[in-house]
Chains A and B, each alone.
Chain A
Amino acid sequence: MTIKDRVLRFIRRMNWPMIIVMAMALVLGVLFIYSSCYIREEQPVRSFYKRQIMWIALGAVCYGICAGYDFRRLVRSGGVLYAACIVLLLLVLVMGKRIYGARRWLMLVGGIGIQPSELAKLATLIFFARLLSLPEINLRQLKTFFTMLGVLALPVVLILRQPDLGTAMAFIPPAFIMMYVAGVPLRYLLSVVMLGVLVAGLILGALVLTDNENLSEETRAKIQKTIPLGEYQQDRLKVLLWPDRDPLGAGWNKNQSEIAVGSGGMWGKGFLKGTQNILGFLPRSVAPTDFIYSVIAEEKGFAGSAFVLCLFGAVVVLGCRVALFTPDRMGRLLCVGIVAMVFCHVWINIAMTVGLMPITGLPLPLLSYGGSFLIMTMSSLGILQSVYARSPRRLLG
């Protein structure tokens, strides 16, 4: 085979539509990180976009490595990856760097921090693909189901201890979707989901009760104690329940984000012209990270926000297409898991931006500023590419 043939084969085996979608999202991300930070006084913040480009370069390397590495070997080492991440999560609880009361970062040499919880997302997903595709596994057994739940619960509990409710919650939907696709009986899954809904309902109910004027102060305090959430988490839920309650305090971020989105209109105020952002009404510390979408929505209007939605729609379609055409069960589950994970982040983040969900602090994949999550997302897409490249020709052709 000549070199030319090899190059051609390599190019043919790339999932070009997916790469183009990914590149567009990354470019948008850099542009709007710049837009949300260029007004800031602090020099390091103003150059966030440069650092994001650096992260993208690093992410591209990871993408290449994951794409070149045989995903089957990767999945087979899922157990090791999972165990390593659990160790890292334990480490972060012991010696993590505390920022605003939460230990989420492990500091490496040179002042660079990583968030083990991001790595754990991918590792858990790979381990799940491994377990669910074991030939001897019987998914209809209740015992199997509980084992799977245990595997899922371990990192979730550790991340809750940091505490980081948002990230912990982001683990659950992709895992359930993978189990559903793998063939775990729907009634098992639904009963757990119902249980979750019930608990959430109880918490919301209790929250409403604490606000009931008819009850005595004492009873309300007692009810308050039973709610297993921190005060700021309760505040965020209350903001969702009663949006007009405390617009200058706890409701500030939410209202400002909604105003930013709403004032964008059809075509937006123009790049670098978002007043909500420039005037600092959007909380500065989160504008380039968790609230990047409201910056886009303000400056580029519905056109821009819908375009971003379409990009992620394309990720879903292209990713599921890979899953559909992969003969390998391992690869199929892996693809579904990755797509589900990206989708969950996108959905929760945007729903939070428009006020459908409480503020949880989940980033928007490929667009939000932040190294760990970006590298994790790009590596996941690299794995997707690895699955794609190892599929039979009918998919490629």
Chain B
Amino acid sequence: MSRPLNKELVRIKIVAGAMLAGLLLLGGVLWHEQVVKGQEYKHSLDRQSMRRVRLPAVRGLILDRNGICLARNRPSYCIAMYVEELRKPGRREKTVEEVDRLIVELSELLEIPREVDRDDIRKHLRISMPMPFLAWRGISEEVLSRWSERTVRQRGIDVYVEPVREYPQGHTLGHVLGYVRRADPPEDLEFPYHYYLAEMEGGEGIEKSMNEKLCGESGGRLIRVDASGFRHEEMAERDPREGRNLVLTIDSEIQKIAEEVLEDVRGAAIILDPRNGDVIAMASAPSFDPNVFVPRIPHDAWNRLNTDSRLPLFNRCISGTYPPGSTFKPLVALAALDSGTVTSAEKLACPGYFDLGKARFHCWNRRGHGKLAMRKAIEQSCNAYFCRLGLECGYEHIFRAAYRIGYGRRTGIELRGEARGLLPGDAWKRRARGDAWRSGDTCNVSIGQGALAVTPLQMAVLTATVANGGQLYRPRLVMGESSRGELIQHVGWSSKSLSLVKGGMYDVMQAETGTGKRGRIDAVAMGGKTGSAEYGPKLSNGKRKKHVWMTVFAPFATPRYAVAMVVEDGTSGGITVAPRIRELMTGIFELESTRKSGRGTGRGA
């Protein structure tokens, strides 16, 4: 009994010894840390403190396809207060008091009015204390020189440089670019601060949808400062990671032309490259200057933009939905031809209207077009012909063709806020109207009216797909690695039907009787289609308001541009839009030739 007991006692002693040795080891480490190493930086450490300086990440540039800068950054000088160093013991209000007192003092010294109030200070203390509190942002050079002359010697205050976003092209491309806004840190963060959170975030447009790529990651630096603000040494640093640059598919010079063309109206114009889906221009009128949003939009400017009945902030290209009117007819023609139920040669009569039961669908030409075949019907945009065509081939075919091209769905372009539009069908009508699909609905959709609603972008996609022979590309704004674009599918229209429909569109532009003849230009042959879509209630003169359209592709033989343009409340596609198309296409091809000759001389010299 006693031997095992003895052994046990020995083991207890061993354990006790080991524990004491462990404590001794800690004592040794403490001696080393506190006394040996502590001597090294002993001098007046108690009057010094650590300052965390934020190193903001520089946001990536946005360039157009030719390298023209659309969004960049400029330095802006701020007066920063490092609130942690100004803290007073006790209740938070004492610190607010101290910061407030300093702001008053500084505002007298630097002769600038104060920009922040006590609530701002309180909010900063509550949610982002370790970050510098920017009491003045974007101070002028005068103030900056006053600052350095009068050498403000006060603990916890310093000049801080922050990059500010700038859009050198002003109004141009405002809707696509969007803007940045100040990012408030989320209040419910587990850590009271998150040092690397970005200070700016995209508020709209590409800036928002590509924020992740553009924003980069901010860094920080730890420096030792003393009571007078003198920087002793850098303790640690984490480099900020710059945001990535973005190259857009936009050609900003063509964009400018498109915006000029739409200057006096409300409307939208989109130019796609039918060969790959690149968005060459995307103009929505009226536009806005994103610079007013940076760093923070003034209240009155915001109210003005928001209450403007012309909706300048609304990107009509992707968010506006309109009935397409007659610009939809080429798709109806293609669907009918490929369904095999009609032939292009079959002539249908147009007395100026089409009667379906009690309802009468008027042709725009009240006197009637007489008997016409498909190509002529497209050229003349005959409503009576297309009503009959739609009924003859059946709505199923039209619906399928429109669905395939992406109507009623988002195209998936790199912007938020894209509208789906509406491709009506039996299921939709039963759900929304509580009624079955009727022949009248088919007639309506066949001439691009009724509940059918599309975005200008969807219309441009249709035009591009017709132009390139049936290859459906996803429209893209950001230049990818390959120039090929994202092919969604071959739509599968037969080449015979395509060439007939394109022929009709050629006549629209080039024939003397064509509805789009006012859009014709001398240099290049084009194909196109006009459209006028009525909407809303009848006015006093018995007519309804119209959104007027035109879709165009050029050059006719090997299309490089597919255009969709809509003007709200116009007279008709041929009268309101065609001259603008003419102006736009003239501008584009003139630009092309000057570029070509410019490059030629450049090479020669």
In this assembly, does A324 line the interface, its C-beta being within 8 Å of a C-beta of chain B?
yes
Shortest CB-to-CB span from A115 to chain B, Å, is 20
> In the complex, are the beta carbons of B195 and A183 less than 8 A apart?
no
Closest to A312 in B: B23
Contact partner, A306, options B27, B37, B236, Cβ 8 Å: B27
- Contact A279 B84, CB 8 Å, known A248-B238, A249-B196: yes
Bound together, the chains give a CA A39 to CA B90 distance in angstroms of: 5
**What's the nearest-Cβ distance from chain A to residue B19, in Å?**
5
Question: Is B112 part of the binding interface, using a Cβ–Cβ cutoff of 8 Å?
Answer: no
Q: Using a CB-CB cutoff of 8 Å, which residues 24-81 of chain A contact chain B?
A: 38-39, 41
Is B220 in contact with A248, judged by CB distance below 8 angstroms?
Answer: yes
Instruction: Tell whether, in the assembled complex, residue A320 and residue B16 are in contact, meaning their CB atoms are under 8 Å apart.
Output: yes
**Which chain B residue has the least Cβ–Cβ distance from A319?**
B16
Contact at B38–A320, with CB atoms within 8 Å?
A: no
Q: In the complex, which of the residues A246, A259, A281, A316 contacts B238, with contact meaning CB atoms closer than 8 Å?
A: A246
Q: B34 contacts A247, CB within 8 Å?
A: no
Write out, one digit per residue, whether chain A residues 261-277 have a CB within 8 A of any chain B CB (1) or not (0).
11111100100010100
B15 touching A320 by the CB < 8 A rule?
yes
Chain A residues whose C-beta falls within 8 Å of the C-beta of B15 in the assembled complex = 177, 180-181, 320, 336, 340
- Are A248 and B12 within 8 A (Cβ)? no
B8 cross-chain contacts in A, Cβ below 8 A: 181-183, 329, 332
A365 to chain B, nearest CB (A): 13
With both chains docked as a complex, state the minimum distance between the C-beta of B87 and any C-beta of chain A, in angstroms: 7
Residue B599 is within 8 A (CB to CB) of chain A in the complex: no
Within 8 A of B (CB), among A306-360: 306, 309, 312-313, 316-317, 320, 323-324, 329, 332, 336, 339-340, 343, 346-347, 350-351, 354, 356
Q: Is A316 a contact of B19 with CB atoms below 8 Å?
A: yes
* Distance (whole angstroms) from the CB of A344 to the closest CB of chain B: 9
> Which chain B residues numbered 72 to 119 have a C-beta less than 8 Å away from chain A?
84-85, 87, 89-92
Within A220-263, which residues are at the interface with B (CB < 8 Å)? Answer: 244, 246-249, 255, 258-259, 261-263
Could you say which residues of chain A place their CB within 8 Å of the CB of B31?
302, 306
Bound form: Cα–Cα A249–B129 in Å = 15
Asked whether A347 lies within 8 Å of B20 as measured between CB atoms, the reply is: no
- By CB atoms of chain B within 10 A, which of A39, A183, A320 has the most? A320
- Which B1-32 residues have C-beta < 8 A from chain A? 4, 7-9, 11-13, 15-16, 19-20, 22-23, 26-27, 29-31
State whether the Cβ of B311 lies closer than 8 Å to any Cβ in chain A. Answer: no
Asked if B235 contacts A354 (CB within 8 A), the reply is no
Contacts of A244 in B (CB 8 A): 236
Q: Are B11 and A265 in contact (CB under 8 A)?
A: no
Q: Is B34 in contact with A262, judged by CB distance below 8 angstroms?
A: yes
A249, B9: Cβ atoms under 8 Å? no
What 1/0 mask marks residues of chain A from 173 to 190 whose CB sits below 8 Å from any chain B CB?
000010011110000000
| Neighbour of B27 across the interface among A255, A264, A309, A340, CB < 8 A | A309
- 1/0 per residue, CB under 8 A from A, across B37-51: the answer is 111011001100110
Q: Which of B11, B33, B84, B190 contacts A258 (CB 8 A)?
A: B33
Contact B84 A313 (CB under 8 A): no
Q: Does A166 contact B (CB under 8 A)?
A: no
Contact call A265/B29, Cβ cutoff below 8 A: no
A278 CB-CB contact with B under 8 Å:
yes
Q: What residues on B are CB-neighbors of A343 within 8 Å? A: 19, 22-23
A248 lies within 8 A of B30 (CB): no
Instruction: Find A275's partner among B37, B46, B190 (CB 8 Å cutoff).
Output: B46
A-B contact count (CB 8 A): 137
B: contact size bracket: 35 or more
Q: A278-B89, A312-B23 are in contact. Are A273 and B46 (CB under 8 A)?
A: yes
B11 A181 Cβ-Cβ under 8 A: yes
Is A361 close to B, CB under 8 A? no
Contact A266/B9 with A248-B220, A354-B33 known, Cβ cut-off 8 Å:
no
Nearest residue (CB) in A for B90 is A39
B219 to chain A: which residues have CB within 8 Å?
A: 248
Given A313-B20, A343-B22, A181:B12 Cβ within 8 A = yes
Q: Write out the residue numbers on chain A whose beta carbons fall within 8 Å of the beta carbon of B11.
A: 180-181, 183
B23 near A279 with CB under 8 A, answer no
Q: Is B35 an interface residue (CB 8 A)?
A: yes
A360 to B236, CA, bound (A): 24
Within the assembled complex, what's the spacing in Å between the Cα atoms of A17 and B37?
35
Please tell me if A297 contacts chain B, counting CB pairs below 8 Å.
yes
Q: Does A305 contact B (CB under 8 A)?
A: yes
Docked-complex contact A309 and B20, CB < 8 angstroms: no
Contact indicator B222/A247 (Cβ below 8 Å): yes
Which residues of A sit under 8 angstroms from B12, Cβ to Cβ? Answer: 181, 320, 323-324, 332, 336
Whole-angstrom CA separation of A249 from B196 in the bound complex: 8
Q: Known contacts A278-B89, A320-B16; decide if A265 and B26 are in contact (CB<8 Å).
A: no
B474 within 8 A of A: no
Q: Are A248 and B33 in contact (CB under 8 A)?
A: no
For the complex formed, measure the closest distance between the CB of B38 and the CB atoms of chain A, giving whole angstroms.
Answer: 4
Could you say which of B16, B20, B27, B195 has the most chain A C-beta atoms within 10 Å of its C-beta?
A: B16
B175 at the interface (CB under 8 A from A): no
Q: Which residue of B has the minimal Cβ distance to A306?
A: B27
B59 interface contact, C-beta 8 A:
no
Please report the C-alpha to C-alpha distance between residue A313 and residue B18 in the assembled complex, in whole angstroms.
11
Q: Does B502 contact A (CB under 8 A)?
A: no
The answer to whether residues A248 and B20 also contact, given A183-B7, A265-B34 and a CB cut-off of 8 A, is no
A246-B238, A248-B236, A313-B20 given as contacts; is B49 within 8 A of A275 (CB)? Answer: yes
Q: How far is the CB of A140 from chain B (nearest CB, A)?
A: 12
Judged by a CB distance under 8 angstroms, whether B52 is at the interface is: yes
Across the interface, do B236 and A324 meet the contact criterion of CB distance under 8 Å? no
Check B35 against A302 for contact (C-beta < 8 Å): yes
Which residue of chain B has its CB nearest to the CB of A354? B29
With both beta carbons as reference points, the residue of chain A lying nearest to B94 in the complex is identified as: A41
Residues of A within 8 A of B129 (CB): 280
Q: Which of B19, B22, B190, B195 contacts A339 (CB 8 A)?
A: B19
Report Cα–Cα, A323/B15, bound state, in Å: 11
B474 to chain A, nearest CB (A): 28
Q: In the bound complex, how far is the Cα of B33 from the Cα of A340, in angstroms?
A: 26
Identity of the chain A residue whose Cβ is nearest the Cβ of B88 in the assembled complex: A39
Chain B residue numbers with a CB within 8 Å of A279 are 49-50, 84-85, 87
| Residue A116 interfacial (CB < 8 Å) | no
A10 close to chain B: CB less than 8 A? no
Within 8 A of A (CB), among B180-198: 190, 195-196
Question: In the assembly, what is the distance between CA of A177 and CA of B22, in Å?
Answer: 14
- Flag if A262 contacts B27 (CB, 8 Å): no
9 contacts between A and B (CB under 8 A): A177-B15, A248-B236, A249-B195, A278-B87, A302-B30, A323-B12, A332-B8, A347-B23, A354-B30
Knowing that A350-B26, A350-B30 are A-B contacts, what are 8 other residue pairs whose CB atoms are under 8 Å apart, sorted by A's residue number?
A: A180-B15, A181-B11, A183-B8, A262-B33, A263-B41, A278-B87, A340-B19, A347-B23
Residues of A within 8 A of B (CB): 38-39, 41, 100, 177, 180-183, 244, 246-249, 255, 258-259, 261-266, 269, 273, 275, 278-281, 297, 301-302, 305-306, 309, 312-313, 316-317, 320, 323-324, 329, 332, 336, 339-340, 343, 346-347, 350-351, 354, 356
10 closest Cβ pairs, A-B complex: A247-B236, A320-B16, A41-B92, A302-B34, A248-B220, A265-B38, A316-B19, A343-B19, A181-B11, A39-B89
